[in-house]
């Protein structure tokens, strides 16, 4: 998806007239540039790499999230996504079942969470 950055200058046409309000997009898709997460007392920042798991992207970027099985069964890779959750696909059924006891929705299994 191509993002459009709006500035005050971009809302003014070349002949210095304001663009009519009906031509201004109502919703602007602002995606965070990175995924921030927390595991235990550690904080991590991962640059999203499409079609990778959050764990694989993190490890590739030397963000050493704790993990064990990589299958979605042990739960050791559980992280709390504090920013950029929209950059991840929604959890699949196996991940949802494993996380059902987590109180907050922002918890994910890094080995199962796929980046969009
Ligand atoms: S490493 Fe075991 S659930 Fe992710």
- For residues 73 and 41, is the Cβ–Cβ distance under 8 A? no
E strands within 1-116? 35-39, 42-46, 78-83, 107-109
Tell me if 56 CB under 6 Å of ligand 1: no
Predicted local distance difference test score (pLDDT) of residue 1: 53
The residue extents of the domains of the chain are 32-109
Tell me if 77 CB under 6 Å of ligand 1: yes
| CATH assignment, 32-109 | 3.10.20.30
CA of 54 to the centre of ligand 1 (A): 11
Tell me if 75 CB under 6 Å of ligand 1: yes
pLDDT digits (tens, 9 = 90+) for 64-109: 999 999 999 999 999 999 999 999 999 999 999 999 877 677 999 9
> Whole-angstrom Cα distance, residue 27 to residue 29?
6
CA of 81 to the centre of ligand 1 (A): 16
């Amino acid at each position: 998806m191509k993002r459009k950055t709006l500035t005050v200058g971009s809302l003014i046409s070349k002949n210095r007239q304001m663009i009519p309000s009906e031509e201004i997009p109502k919703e602007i898709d602002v995606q965070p540039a990175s995924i921030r997460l927390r595991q235990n007392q550690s904080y991590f920042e991962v640059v999203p790499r499409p079609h990778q798991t959050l764990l694989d992207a993190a490890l590739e970027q030397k963000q050493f999230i704790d993990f064990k099985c990589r299958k979605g069964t042990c739960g050791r890779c559980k992280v709390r996504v504090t920013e950029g959750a929209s950059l991840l696909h929604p959890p699949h059924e196996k991940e949802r079942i494993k996380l059902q006891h987590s109180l907050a929705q922002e918890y994910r299994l890094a080995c199962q969470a796929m980046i969009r």
